[in-house]
Chains A and B, each alone.
Chain A
Amino acid sequence: MATSTETLQASPAAGQRRRLRTLAIVPAFNEADSIGTVLEEIRAAEPELEIVVINDASTDATAKVASAAGVSVVNLPFNVGIGGTVQTGYQYALEHGFDCAIQVDGDGQHDPREIGQVLAPILDGRADLAVGTRFVTGGGYRGTRVRRVGIRIFAGVVSLMVRQRVSDTTSGFRAVNRKALRLFADQYPHDYPEVESLVLLTRHGLCMVEVPVQMRVRETGNSSITALRATYYMIKVLLALFIGLFRRYPTPQEEP
């Protein structure tokens, strides 16, 4: 299995930056109250970024608010869950020829002023995936107890599996380069995708880094994950991770 240092050398040399086109993917499900602010903040912080909102069949005015902000909006015909929503964003990025993409959640928990920091390792060619993490020094995070315990367990299991210390496996504040973009556009896990996708990525021979960020308290709405569901997801994800150990993963080829 390729270690992260090996893949690091395979990545394009740092400093050789051509102008890379980057897409901000904003997955949203019933975020009408917060998404306007999020989009404004992204524009203010990173005016170069193109933005696409993937609306997971919201029943509120999310699509309207996003369209009014003048960004591209992709409306899914029915609710497909966060995994399918984010993957739609990756497919959009791939089809529109973007070099990099960064996911910024529509609920406002990711601070757009930190996009530059999360994106930096990707633009420098230091990693294929950069995850904005709350547990590294400097990040403050409070969540429900079940979630916190779950995050700990996942962190332990995933760290073992990818042979690299991962402190927060559940963060959705993540940037990818073209290679990882192609992988995720092709296969991306369902319900609770952040954890599994980390393992998927490293097993395909790509590498990830964590970037400490400050997560904000959700501006509006409740986390869609209750204690019972969290337990169910945990069992499901652990099962998926376990069975994933017995799969083979081809290293993605260079683009034709």
Chain B
Amino acid sequence: MTPFRVSIAAAAAALILLAVVFELIRSRRLQERYALLWLLTGLVIFVLAIWRGLLGRLSDLVGIAYPPSALFVLAAFFVLVVLLHYSTVISQLSDQNRILAQRLALLEHQLGEERGRDSEAP
């Protein structure tokens, strides 16, 4: 069985995470679409922290002797998922950034050419 103090600490940590994410969204520093995974992480950790029986059964199922370790594993798993998600987001952003730079360069060039033509005209 999970030690009682571990459950309380884990639940508190999950609640703090949820509160921080909430405040970040509220103050518009975090978009909802990037917050959903964090919220899911916080919720799952919170539920498993206070529902001690479920955590015990889950650790039994995968052969973890000490239930709080299962909590760790799960948290680590979620962090991995979030990181992977961000990797895809960064890839997309860098692609879009390149496209923007190219469009801008071409437009600037076109603008320069048109200006040049205007000044040549009588």
Contacts and interface: CB of A to CB of B under 8 A. Distances in A.
A240 B31 CA distance: 9
A77 B99 contact: yes
A243 B29 CA distance: 13
User: How many interface residues does chain B have, given as a range?
Assistant: 10 to 19
B81 to A, nearest CB: 15
B50 interface: no
Interface stretch (B32-40, B53-61, B68-76): B32-40
Contact of A236 (B33, B95, B99): B33
A154 B29 CA distance: 25
A78 B96 contact: yes
Contacts of A246: 26
A243 B33 CA distance: 13
Interface string A220-256: 0000000000000001100110010011000000000
Contact of A247 (B26, B32, B36, B96): B26
A240 B103 contact: no
B32 A78 contact: no
Given A243-B22, A243-B25, A190 B99 contact: no
A191 B26 CA distance: 18
A236 B36 contact: yes
A-side interface mostly:
loop
Interface in B8-53: 22, 25-26, 31-33, 35-36, 39
A204 to B, nearest CB: 15
B100 A77 contact: yes
A23 B22 CA distance: 38
Contacts of A247: 26
A239 B103 contact: no
A240 B35 CA distance: 10
A13 B35 CA distance: 44
B101 to A, nearest CB: 10
A247 B23 CA distance: 10
A77 B101 CA distance: 10
A246 B27 CA distance: 9
From A77, A191, A243, residue with most partner B Cβ within 10 Å: A243
A190 B95 CA distance: 19
Nearest to A237: B32
Contacts of B95: 78
A191 B36 CA distance: 14
Contacts of B36: 235-236, 239
Contacts of A236: 32-33, 36
A190 B96 contact: no
Nearest to B102: A77
Given A235-B36, A239-B36, A78 B25 contact: no
17 contacts: A77-B96, A77-B99, A78-B95, A190-B31, A190-B33, A191-B33, A236-B32, A236-B33, A236-B36, A239-B35, A239-B39, A240-B32, A243-B25, A243-B26, A243-B32, A246-B26, A247-B26
Interface of A: 77-78, 190-191, 235-236, 239-240, 243, 246-247
Given A78-B96, A243-B32, 11 more contacts: A77-B100, A78-B95, A190-B31, A191-B33, A236-B32, A236-B36, A239-B25, A239-B36, A239-B39, A240-B32, A246-B26
